[in-house]
Amino acid sequence: MATVENKQGRRQVVRGVVVSDKMTKTRVIEIKRTQDHRLYHKKLIHQKRLFVHDEKNESKLGDVVMAESTRPLSRHKNFRLIKIVEKRVAE
């Protein structure tokens, strides 16, 4: 996870895939990271789901997005959408 400096201070920037777009102005993104187990040398996948504020409802299911941390917007939302990195290919 990267951090960005701006006038408000440090902001955490994350990249994830939209796994739910059923709520209005809210997206659920999933962040996956891999880590090696130090004893067994096996790849472990850690995944985390975050609620992201999407003001214009522009991201859709399967899109890769960038989000940054912000003040609490609701009980679960602490991130807001910065940009859509990659659109899902329609099938």
This prediction has a pTM of 0.82
Distance CA 25, CA 63 (A): 15
What's phi and psi for 16, nearest 5 deg? -155, 180
Class of domain 2-86: mainly beta
Residue type, 62: G
Q: What is the DSSP letter of 54?
A: -
Distance CA 8, CA 20 (A): 29
pLDDT reported for residue 61: 96
* Full pLDDT tens readout for the chain, 91 residues: 666 666 667 899 999 999 999 999 999 999 999 999 999 999 999 999 999 999 999 999 999 999 999 999 999 999 999 999 999 887 6
Say if CB 60 and CB 21 are below 8 A apart: yes
